[in-house]
Structure 1
Amino acid sequence: MKPHLRSGPAKISYVPDEDAKANDGLIAAGDELGMHGPTPVLDDNGKPREAKLTPQDKKVLSEEIAVPELAGYRSLWDQSIARGLTPEKLAAILQASKRGDHRPYLELAEEMEERDLHYLAVLSTRKRQLARLKPSIDEDHAKARGVDKKVIEAVKELVEAPEFRLLLEGMTDSFGKGYAAVEIMWTSVDGRWKPAAYLWRDPKYFTFDYVSRSELRLAELTTLDGLALPPAKFVVHMPAIKAGVPIRAGFAWLAAWAWLFKQYTLKDWVSFLDIYGMPLRLGKYHPSATPDERRKLLQAVSRIAVDAAAIIPESMAIEFLEAKGNSDKPFEALGSYLDKQISKAILGQTMTTDGHAGGLAQAKIHNEVRIDILEDDAEKLEFTLDRDLISWFVKLNFGDQAPRPRVKFPVAEPQDIAVKSTAIAQLIPMGLKVSQAAVRDIVGLPAPEDGEEILTPPAAATPEEPAPDPTTRSDVRAAATNSFMHRPAGGICPCGCGRRISYNAEGVSAPSDPDVIDRIGEDEADDWEAQLGPIVAPILKAAAESASFEEFLAKLDALTNSLDLDPLTGRLAIAAMKARGFGRGAGPDGRLGAEA
């Protein structure tokens, strides 16, 4: 046994010496028929094979390669596969696809999206989740590899261009069919190569190598597994939903049987409703009815469902019998079950599509599954773009040896912004150090650019000092007694209003000991708030509710007869009697017991 190198781009195989010639003959025959193997991963030196652009390759960068044809392998004229599809036909289509005839299967995959709204909805959700991710440059990776700033800026401009979104949308077509190819139309502007357009190409324009069924090639009538794709011209994305050959790793392959059974279910459901959706029309005729009369009765019964009117002899009758014991629930249950299985296969859950009650906890778990799937899709997308677009862009503009940055598609996990914001606000005063970048990531706000208007908290207003409450100040209470011993300097009210207080004894020097009348005034003034409260409150209320001074005067007149003045009047009468009694027995200086 010795190693025998197979001709063409294939691997080394071990065959007996006596079979080497026969093996060479088979390989030569296969090469004549166009049965090639995949391009080896390693070169003759055992190092990773790196494709390089030749001058001839650069000439075709601006030319369309996978051009649609009016007639030929890349023709768009295809017959419907889904019409009249049976389990036998579906099995034959899938089996033919395994052998390399992909065209019928790819046409069926396209029609599955057009004919089933649920399949289209969940598949579109999976596509849009990925296509709407914002690309960014991995700064740490670029710094570690020593990527030049000019290269970083050029790649950043590449992925932020408006047409880049079209590239992502074209690549997500691979979810249904297992692979997608987008042709790059390059243009040279001011000495720099950049994509002028990204052209989605129909998957039916391509095929796979005959040996491994894994390397995508351009379909051509002259060869079984087509032509090798030129370098730097196609972005070929294979999401690998499952391990295996790409043509069997798309959702159309996985959901084909469920989709077919659902079509049968809908067809039977419609037939059921056509039969049992309206009552049975039963015509009754007399035994003596002639054949002509019976014919007219049958005609009336048949047409009554359309015309909603009929004329029959009095001796005849038409009855409507409701269908009992028949239900369409099995059709609905089977259709719903198949939809759920498709949702699970594509989205990994059913919570966001079927809307069944399951609580917040279950919804969060289902959402986490979707985030996990999206992260996996993003990583595979990053790999494809780095291999088929970023690497060639850097090589064309900065040389083969220039290191390139990594483009990432970060997936933001759902989080409760209110809870985290509250926690940050409480922890920062306790000494927790939080970076502004981390907070911006939580709330989803970018850093402000130079010159942008910055939001700032409003300036705190200076609190106004509350107006003094005369009822709580001892000096005001004392001044209200109108006594000498509590008389303020200059006769000015101590509450701050600036008014002078009228004193009966103003201008008379205060005696050295308290006057009895002053003591009576102090006693009566201790609870003057309680005495005047029921009187003052209605007056203040009337003032607050009045729009004008005239309205206030009118309300004041109305309050005259409603105010209860008896307690205050009685209290004032008692105080006056005390003062009068003590006043008659006072001396010339106003003190009790003084000599005349």
Structure 2
Amino acid sequence: MKKETQKIDARTLSARVITLDTALSSFMGYMPNPDEVLRDTGERISVYREMRTDPRIKSLIALVKSTILEFTPRIEQGDSKPQVYKTVSEYIPQSLLYGLEKRLLSAIDYGYSVVEVVWENTDGWWKVADVVLRKPERFAFDAEGRLKYKDPNNAELLDLYNQSYKWLVFRHDKDAENPYGTSALKSCYWAWKFKKAGSQFWIMAAEKFSVPSILALFDTTEPEDKIKERALGLSEMLSTVQSGSGAALANIKDVKLLTSPEKVSEFRSLMEWCDQQISYGITGQSLATQEAEFGSRAQASVHKDVLTLLAKGACRDMTEVLQRLVSYVVELNYGPDEAEPQIRFDLEEHTTWEELMQAIDRGVPVSKQSLYTRYGVPEPAGEDDTFVRETQAGMGPLALAMADESKKKARRPLF
């Protein structure tokens, strides 16, 4: 049976059938942040800044960002002209690219990050003078995802999407129909809240029971004023008792120590549970970010791979924003029709140093450039700076190293 071609509706194919409700955006001038935590708790986005004061959260966020920054972006010429590539490489040095990355990664904390690009004109050439990270609470987005600035002086919204070549926006973990991105701290908000409340109770209990109190019990038939006088005297005397000293108490039925209740120790379990949930929320695993009570080395390695995969995903998302800065430089200096150099992250898996040495020992050709760049081997400045160890005939570097080790063992004294 011959398959019939359906009638093509060009208007439907090129249009967005489902659109966002722009009524609220038109009324308010912007689209409210749909973050469920901020909406349901009444918190502001600045609560994520407060959460970063927690040592656990701060260390995990730093771990995630440092893992991402380990993947260094590079500028490749691609289809661009040599002069264009040279200009971009000069105007966007590696130090500027690294600084821009660090600022953009603020989106992990708040869901989105806004960076202002400051330019300078030198002899008709536009260069990037600085990239400045701005506080996220100063900005909003409309239903189309266009950036707006909340002016604190007159409570008006300033449209920034008309300011060309000026703003860079990075959204973390993009969600459907959500121009604000998703904060990594959103999923661990309640664990942080429970931990904060538990810590306050723990501190209060420690202040109350850290030093045991002494309680003296006595029987008496004296009047109430005499009882109070005697109790006050006993209290003053017991407060002067020191370690190793003695005291004689007359007509005392019993002396007890008031110590911390056993229930206080259970809050340690609550703290550990909260820390584990925070680790899952930020890094997607736990064994690679804490000293686990249970779990093998293999499991920890797998969990570390999860963290690496998350970092690679963030690099892929960030490539588009970094490429936009390259586009700005090219358009301002060469025009919009000029081919651009491309931003690339090296996200491929590479062999270990041990495997590389085995390949060299077996005569497998390897890249010298990779030795100097990927593996950090210092590149010689010239022939006079080059050191090559002489090897015995028929012995590769690995075999020679094993032979040297055998000689060392042979020279060791027997006693």
Give TM-score, length-normalised by structure 2: 0.75
1: distance between equivalents of 2:147 and 2:238?
A: 58
In 2, Cα distance between the equivalents of 1:321 and 1:360?
Answer: 46
Contact 1:147–1:404 (8 Å) recurs in 2: yes
- Mapped pair 1:228 → 2:160: yes
Distance, in Å, in 2 between the alignment partners of 1:456 and 1:281 is 77
Q: Does 1:94 align with 2:39?
A: yes
Q: Deviations over 1:115-173 (max 9, x none)?
A: x110111012212333454221235xx0xxx2111222222223325344332222111
| RMSD, matched Cα | 3.8
1:393 counterpart SS class: helix
Distance change >3 Å, CA 289–CA 362, structure 1 → 2: same
Q: Does the C-alpha gap of structure 1 residues 306 and 252 become closer, same or farther in structure 2, counting only changes over 3 Å?
A: farther
Query: What is residue 444 of structure 1 aligned with on the other side?
Result: 376
Give runs of aligned pairs for residues 145-294 of structure 1, distance below 5 A: 146-209=79-142, 211=143, 214-220=145-151, 226-229=158-161, 230-240=163-173, 242-243=175-176, 245-247=178-180, 249-294=182-227
* Alignment match, 1:424: 359
Alignment correspondent of 2:29: 35
Q: Is the Cα–Cα contact under 8 Å of residues 34 and 224 in structure 1 kept in the other structure?
A: no
1:366 maps onto 2:311 in alignment: no
Q: Do 1:281 and 1:301's aligned partners in 2 also have CA atoms closer than 8 Å?
A: no
Q: Which is further off, 305-314 or 157-166?
A: 305-314
**Would the alpha carbon gap of residues 426 and 11 (structure 1) be closer, same or farther in structure 2, given more than 3 Å must change?**
closer
Q: Paired residue for 1:488?
A: none
- Shift in Å at residue 203 of structure 1? 1.0
Letter in 2 for 1:366: H
**Which segments of 5 or more consecutive residues in structure 2 lack a partner in the other structure?**
1-14, 394-415
1:118 matched to 2:53: no
* CA–CA separation in structure 1 for the residues paired with 2:97 and 2:238: 58
Residues 441-480 of structure 1: matches in 2 within 5 Å? Answer: 443-445=375-377, 448=380, 453-458=385-390
User: 1:227 Cα deviation (Å)?
Assistant: 2.0
Measure, in 2, the Cα distance between the counterparts of 1:448 and 1:107.
50
In the other structure, the counterpart of 1:376 is 313
SS in 1 for 2:129: strand
What is the CA–CA distance in structure 2 between the aligned matches of 1:410 and 1:326, rounded to whole Å?
54
Tell me the alpha carbon deviations over residues 203-259 of structure 1, each in whole angstroms, 9 at most, x when there is no partner.
1111121x35x4331113667754233121111111226555254610232222121
Structure-2 residue corresponding to 1:532: none
Which residue does 1:500 correspond to in 2? none
Q: Which residue of 2 aligns with 1:535?
A: none
Q: In 2, distance between residues paired with 1:278 and 1:358?
A: 38
Once the two structures are TM-superposed, the CA of residue 291 in structure 1 deviates from its matched residue by: 3.1
Per-residue CA deviation, residues 482-522 of structure 1 (Å, 9 max, x unaligned), is xxxxxxxxxxxxxxxxxxxxxxxxxxxxxxxxxxxxxxxxx
Q: CA deviation at 1:327?
A: 3.8
1:202 maps to a residue whose letter is: K
Residues 1:398 and 1:254: Cα distance change in structure 2 (over 3 Å): same
User: Could you give the per-residue CA deviations for residues 558-585 of structure 1, whole angstroms, max 9, x where no partner exists?
Assistant: xxxxxxxxxxxxxxxxxxxxxxxxxxxx
Change in CA separation of 1:203 and 1:325 when aligned onto 2, cut-off 3 Å: closer
Deviation of residue 377 (structure 1)? 0.9
Unpaired runs of 5+ in structure 1? 1-9, 15-22, 38-89, 98-103, 462-596
Distance 1:125-1:299 versus aligned 2 partners, 3 A rule: farther
1:285/1:294 contact within 8 Å kept:
no
2:339 paired residue among 403, 408, 429: 403
Q: Which residue of 2 aligns with 1:567?
A: none
The answer as to 2:135 corresponding to 1:135 is no
Partners in 2 of 1:138 and 1:412 — Cα distance? Answer: 16
1:250 and 1:365, CA in 2 relative to 1: closer, same or farther beyond 3 A? same
Distance 1:303 1:172, change over 3 A: farther
User: Is the contact between residue 131 and residue 172 of structure 1 (CA under 8 Å) also seen in structure 2?
Assistant: no
Which whole-Å CA distance do the structure 2 matches of 1:302 and 1:244 have between them? 68
> In the alignment, what sits opposite 1:351?
287
TM-aligned CA deviation for residue 417 of structure 1: 1.4
Q: Whole-Å Cα distance in 2 between the matches of residues 412 and 294 of structure 1?
A: 82
How far apart are the structure 2 equivalents of 1:303 and 1:263?
A: 37
Contact 1:178/1:239 (CA < 8 Å) preserved in 2?
A: yes
Q: Is the 8 A contact 2:288 2:301 kept in 1?
A: no
Question: What SS class does the counterpart of residue 106 from structure 1 fall into?
Answer: coil
How much does 1:96 deviate? Answer: 7.7
Shift of 1:295: 2.3
Supply the distance in 2 between the matched residues of 1:188 and 1:148 (Cα, whole angstroms): 22
Going from structure 1 to structure 2, the CA distance change for 1:163 and 1:418 (only over 3 Å counts) comes to: same
Return the alpha-carbon distance in structure 2 between the equivalents of residues 241 and 299 of structure 1. Answer: 67
CA distance in structure 1 between the partners assigned to 2:239 and 2:196 by the alignment: 28
| Partner-residue secondary structure (3-state), 1:249 | coil
Number of matched pairs: 370
2:262 & 2:305 partners in 1: Cα distance? 42
When residues 117 and 306 of structure 1 are mapped into structure 2, their CA distance, relative to the original with a 3 A threshold, is farther
Q: Compute the TM-score of the two structures, normalised by the length of structure 1.
A: 0.54
Q: Please state if 1:332 is matched with 2:268.
A: yes
The answer to which of 150-159 and 169-178 deviates more is 150-159
User: Against the structure 1 CA distance between its residues 304 and 266, is the aligned structure 2 distance closer, same or farther, given a 3 Å change threshold?
Assistant: farther
Moved more, 333-342 or 151-160: 151-160
**CA gap 1:449/1:347 in 2 versus in 1, 3 angstroms:** farther
Aligned residue identity for 1:328: V
Conservation of the 8 A alpha-carbon contact between 2:75 and 2:344 = yes
Aligned mates of 2:233, 2:352 — CA distance in 1: 68
Is the CA contact (8 Å cut-off) linking 2:37 and 2:186 kept in structure 1?
A: no
- Cα–Cα, structure 1 residues 262 and 172, in superposed 2: closer, same or farther, change >3 Å? same
Secondary structure of 1:186's aligned partner: strand
Matches within 5 A, 1:50-129: 93-95=38-40, 104-114=43-53, 116-129=54-67
Contact preservation (8 Å) 1:138, 1:406: yes
Deviation at 1:300, TM superposition (A): 5.8
Say which structure, 1 or 2, has more relative contact order (CA 8 Å, 6+ apart).
2
